[in-house]
Each structure stands twice: as C-alpha cells, then as structure tokens.
C-alpha cells in the first residue's frame, strides 16, 4: 500500500495526506499497520533527497533510468534500513524482493536484492563527503531542496537553517485546544491522564494540551462533545493575539477550516459576533460545522473572495480583524512533507503580492482603535515582515503593537522578532512555523 501511494504521489501529483487517508479508510488494516503505512509514506517522501543520494552510489546505471515503481520500492526499503529501528533490515530486504517478484520479473527482483544487500554491507549511511558547502551538506543530510536551504541560510544563518531542516523531519506532535467555555484545561488534562493518555500542558499556548500516542483524538468523545479541537500549538497563538473580548464585532477574512474562528468565539465566551468568511462555500460549511460542534452561536459564515469584502461590508465597522493569509505553507513541512518538493521560489513571490493586496483591502473595515492581526504559517520574510513593512509604510494611520503584547512577553527569548511581527520556527517549540503581527488603527 505504501508503495502504491508513493508511485501515485510521484506520477499523478496526488497529495500524500489525502491519498493516504482515502487508502487507509478503504483498507481493513489494524491500527498498528495503519501507523506503519503512514510512517513509511511520510518518512520516504520526507527523506527523498537523502535516499536518492545514497541509492545513486549503489545503482550502477543510475536511479533516473529505473522505472518509477522500482525506484520508489528501493527508496521505501532504504528508508526502513536507514531510519527505522524496529524493522529488521533483512525483513525490509525480503519484503522488497517479494514485491519486486510480484510486480516485475526475476531480473528486477535480483537487482533489488543486490542493491539492498550492498547497502547493508556499507554500514552507516549517508556518507557525506568533506568540502561540500553548508547548503549542499544540509540539503543532503536533512533532505530539503537546495534552493530552500540557501534561502534559510540567507535569512536566518546556517545553524538556524540546519535546525529548521532537522525539526521538519521530526514526527509532528498531536496537540488539542481546550474549549474553555465548557471545561478548564486542568480538568480535561486530568481526565486524559486518568484514561491512560500521555498528556501534558502545552508550553506554547495556555489553551493547549500535547498528547503522545493517543491516536486520532477527533474520534474521541471529548471531540464529539465539543470539549476540544485538534490544532497545532503555534496556530493557537493567533486568536490570543487578536484578543477579542465579549461583545465585540470580529471579522475572520480567510477562516476555513475554522480553528482560529472557533478559538476567538471561545475567548469571547460566545458573546458578540464573528463573521467568518472563506472563498469556497464547502469550506465555509466546515466553519459552521465546527461552531455547531463547539456550541458557538456567535459565528456567522459567508463565502466570498476576501478582496471583495471591502465592497460588501461597512468600512471601519469591526473591532478586530484576523487576516490569516493564504501563504506558501513552508512552516508546516513537518505535517505535509511533499510540500517542500512541490514549492518553487516563484510561488513565494506570487503569494506575497496577493497577501499585500488582501491586507490593504481588509484594513478599510477596521474601526479606529481596533486591532488587525496578520498571520501566516510560513517561515518566509517575503510573505511576513516585508508584507507588513510595506503596509505600514503606505498606511500611516496604522501602528504595530506586537511587541507591547502579553503574547510577546511570553514568547520573547525563544521566538524571533522579525520586522513588526513574531516569527516562530519549527525548532523553537516543536510546533509549526508561524508569523503573527498585530496592527492597530490609530484613533
């Protein structure tokens, strides 16, 4: 199953997470086997650069000449040999040879067997030669595209770039946000521990709990009853930055799937109103479903291009606006490993232009004295501090209040101050890379 998914991701451009979910739903695999398929798919995709680099040494005619399924089979087997300690190497080789016999012919299975047995004799891999540039070494060792590593070295320095790449290869933590309108974090935490879960309070968000080995918590009764939502810890900081108060009028411009919208509703104690907009009607429905599950009546959804909101909503009428802007997503590579191979430098530049337009457009809807929060789940300053700096230059009636906020008081010393915003990187807390800037319209 893992091999079939990998070939479809490569050949058809399928998204690994969607294909994996649909394949697992159709299968009758045990929880352990489903976990193994997930590990094999995400791990092989994540380490693709390193695996290709190592295989190139062992495949005499070069890996580019291999059929896609054969190359993916070798990568999948090599991933188990190099990175997984609970699967004996000889078992990984035998399984690969059996699959090669089924899918190919004697010649292919013999080649697969020969390559993998040579790998076993070679000892610790990868062997990285001396004299490589820092960018090339990091790219091979931590399996990231060279352009991205170079970019991060320019932006953050070689040590930080290496830390980002290493963190992106770690399995993502499972974190949940407590619906404090229904239960306190302490009470939910003690219920989880009583039920034998390895749960601890988040160090990042006062509303978060990190759970190890708890399976899919969206299938739990706590989720069904509206006590929690599954959300990354960095993402929980955004609603806290907006700091909506009961009775306020709030706009969430690009709101699907609704995690931040719901969190704002919880912080407002469900008093006031939140207009949650998303471009796609089916995604707007996800937001209303979330609100209903969590018992939030203050959320109203709409479906429009966020650039059009300035024409349909009253200017200077909202106390708080959240623009969680569409972005390159390079802060969430740990969750979506194929993202790093799909993105190109020009994707960052094109989305930054849209972000600037969105920020300019929705800012017209904010009351004097109100606060607009700009956030993204990316590490790229082209999409983050540069967008905010250009906006502030054009709009002297706005000022940054990021570094006088309680959120910065808590994050300072770990997160970075980039321009007029807070930049969290994946290695800071083991959560997603995120950028948050708080802008106030001057009275």
Nearest to 358, CA basis, from 393, 397, 318, 309:
309
Does the active-site annotation cover 377?
Answer: yes
Residue 256 labeled ligand binder: yes
Q: What is the DSSP string of 406-426?
A: HHHHHHBTTBEEETTEEEE-H
354 with 392: CB under 8 angstroms? no
In whole angstroms, give the CA distance from residue 67 to residue 63. Answer: 9
Tell whether residue 278 is among the known ligand binding residues: yes
Among the listed residues 75, 165, 253, 377, the single catalytic one is: 377
Residue 258 annotated as part of some ligand binding site: yes
Question: Is residue 304 part of an annotated ligand binding site?
Answer: no
Q: Which has the closest alpha carbon to 208: 263, 268, 271?
A: 263
Residue 1 forms beta bridges with which residues?
Answer: none
Structure tokens at 363: 């800012």
Q: 305: annotated binding-site residue?
A: yes
Q: What is the chain's Cα-based Rg?
A: 24
How does DSSP assign 209-260, residue by residue? Answer: EEEES---GGGSHHHHTTSEEE--HHHHHHHHHH---TT-EEEESS-TT-HH
- Token pair of 153, please? 């070295």
Q: Nearest-CA neighbor of 322 among 267, 285, 282?
A: 267
In this structure, what token pair is assigned to residue 402? 């990021």
Residue 165 annotated as part of some ligand binding site: no
Q: Are 318 and 365 in contact (CB under 8 A)?
A: yes
Per DSSP, the residues of 258-298 read -HHHHHHHHHTTT-SEEEEEESSHHHHHHHHHHHHHTT--S
* Interatomic CA distance for residues 155 and 425, integer angstroms: 12
DSSP-H helix ranges across 268-375:
281-293, 309-312, 339-342, 345-362
| Residue 130 annotated as binding site | no
- Cα 321 from Cα 71, distance rounded (Å): 49
Q: What b-and-e string marks burial along 45-54, b requiring 16 or more CB atoms within 10 Å of the CB? A: bbbbbbbbbb
Say if residue 343 carries a ligand binding annotation.
Answer: no
Pairing of strands 208-212, 228-230: unpaired
Q: Is 52 annotated as a binding residue?
A: no
The annotation places the binding site for S-adenosyl-L-methionine at: 254-260, 278, 305, 324
Residues catalogued as catalytic:
377
The annotation places the binding site at: 254-260, 278, 305, 324
């Amino acid at each position: 199953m893992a091999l079939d998914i990998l070939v479809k991701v490569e050949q058809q451009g399928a998204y690994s997470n969607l294909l994996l979910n649909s394949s697992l739903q159709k299968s009758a695999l045990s929880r352990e086997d489903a976990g193994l398929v997930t590990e094999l798919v995400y791990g092989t995709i994540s380490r693709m650069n390193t695996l290709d680099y190592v295989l190139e040494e062992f495949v005499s005619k070069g890996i580019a000449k291999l059929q896609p399924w054969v190359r993916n089979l070798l990568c999948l087997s090599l991933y188990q040999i190099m990175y997984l300690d609970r699967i004996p190497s000889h078992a990984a080789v035998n399984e690969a040879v059996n699959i090669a016999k089924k899918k190919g012919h004697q010649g292919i299975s013999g080649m697969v067997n020969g390559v993998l047995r040579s790998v076993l004799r070679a000892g610790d891999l990868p062997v990285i030669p001396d004299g490589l540039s820092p960018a090339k070494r990091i790219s091979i060792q931590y399996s990231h595209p060279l352009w991205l590593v170079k970019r991060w070295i320019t932006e953050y320095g070689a040590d930080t770039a290496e830390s980002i790449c290493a963190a992106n290869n770690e399995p993502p933590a499972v974190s949940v946000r407590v619906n404090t309108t229904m239960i306190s974090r302490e009470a939910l935490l003690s219920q989880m521990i009583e039920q034998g879960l390895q749960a601890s309070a988040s160090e990042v968000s006062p509303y978060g709990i990190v759970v190890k080995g708890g399976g899919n918590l969206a299938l739990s009764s706590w989720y069904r009853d509206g006590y929690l939502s599954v959300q990354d810890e960095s993402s929980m900081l955004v609603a806290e930055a907006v700091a909506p108060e009961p009775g306020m009028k709030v706009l969430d411009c690009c709101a699907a799937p609704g995690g931040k919208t719901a969190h704002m509703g919880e912080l407002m104690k469900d008093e006031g109103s939140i207009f949650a907009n998303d471009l796609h009607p089916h995604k707007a429905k996800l937001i209303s479903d979330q609100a209903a599950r969590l018992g939030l009546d203050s959320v109203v959804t709409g479906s429009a291009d966020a650039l059009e909101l300035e024409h349909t909503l009253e200017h200077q009428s909202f106390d708080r606006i959240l623009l969680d802007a569409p972005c390159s997503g390079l802060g969430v590579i740990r969750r979506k490993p194929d993202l790093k191979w799909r993105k190109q430098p020009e994707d960052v530049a094109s989305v930054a232009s849209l972000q600037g337009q969105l920020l300019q457009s929705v800012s017209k809807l904010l009351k004097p004295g109100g606060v607009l929060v700009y956030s993204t789940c990316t590490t790229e300053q082209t999409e983050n501090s540069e967008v905010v700096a250009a906006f502030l230059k054009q709009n002297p009636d706005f000022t940054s209040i990021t570094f006088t906020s309680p959120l910065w008081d808590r994050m300072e010393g770990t997160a970075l101050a980039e321009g007029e915003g807070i930049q969290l990187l994946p290695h800071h807390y083991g959560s997603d890379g995120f950028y948050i800037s708080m802008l106030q319209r001057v009275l």
